[in-house]
Chain A
Amino acid sequence: EDQVTQSPEALRLQEGESSSLNCSYTVSGLRGLFWYRQDPGKGPEFLFTLYSAGEEKEKERLKATLTKKESFLHITAPKPEDSATYLCAVAIYGQNFVFGPGTRLSVLP
C-alpha cells in the first residue's frame, strides 16, 4: 500500500534554531514529491517539487532534499513567521497526490 509518513508530528524551535523535517514514503512508481506549507484554516501553499534522488531545491530559509525513500525539509535560522504545518505529498502514476499527515512547526521568538 502506498504510504507517506512525516516526523516529527510537532516541533517547537527557538528563533534561529535550525532543524529538519522528515517525509518518508513507500510507493510504487513515484512521479514527484511536493512540499507545501499550510497556515491554520487555509489551503496549502506550494513550496517545492523534487523529481529525482539527489535533487535539492532552496527558497529563503528552506531547503528540500530527496533520496529514494525519504525527503527532508531543512529550516535554517527560522523566524516566528515560519510557524505553520508543513505537508509533503507524493504523485503516483495513475493517481493523484498522497499526502502525509504533516509536521506542525512552532518557532518561538
Chain B
Amino acid sequence: ETGVTQSPTHLIKTRGQQVTLRCSSQSGHNTVSWYQQALGQGPQFIFQYYREEENGRGNFPPRFSGLQFPNYSSELNVNALELDDSALYLCASRYKENTEAFFGQGTRLTVV
C-alpha cells in the first residue's frame, strides 16, 4: 500500500507567477484535502475534493484552485503568487469523512 506522495518537494517562484502542486492519494482513498502551513503554525484548510468535485473550502481567495482526477490524484494551483503564499503545502487523503487523514511530506513553496 503506497502512502500519499507530493511533488515537487521544494519550489521557488517569483511574485506574480503561477504554480501547480501535485498529490497522489493513498490507495483506496477518494477524498483529498489541501492545507497551507506557515512556519510555526498549524495547517490551515484550503479545500477538499471528493470524487472529482470540490465539496469544502476554507478561507482562501479564488486564486487558489484545484482539481481531482479519476484516479483520485489531485492538483493545487495558485495564481498571482504573493510573498505571503510562502509556506509548506500539505495534501491529505482519507477514505471516509470524519476518519483520520494521512498526509504527504509536503511541498515547500518559497515566493521571492
- Interface residues of A, Cβ cutoff 8 Å to B: 4, 31-32, 34, 36, 41-46, 49, 87, 89, 91, 94-102
Contacts and interface: CB of A to CB of B under 8 A. Distances in A.
Contacts of A44: 43, 90, 103
Nearest to A102: B42
A45, A87, A96, A99 interface centre (most CB from chain B within 10 Å)? A96
- Chain B contact patch, size range: 20 to 34
B2 interface: no
A91 B44 CA distance: 13
15 contacts: A4-B42, A31-B98, A41-B106, A43-B103, A44-B43, A46-B101, A89-B42, A91-B97, A94-B56, A96-B56, A97-B35, A99-B35, A99-B43, A101-B40, A101-B41
Contacts of B45: 95-98
Interface of B: 4, 6, 33, 35, 40-45, 48, 56, 58, 88, 90, 92, 97-106, 108
Given A34-B100, A95-B56, A97-B101, A43 B41 contact: no
Contact of A43 (B40, B97, B98, B106): B106
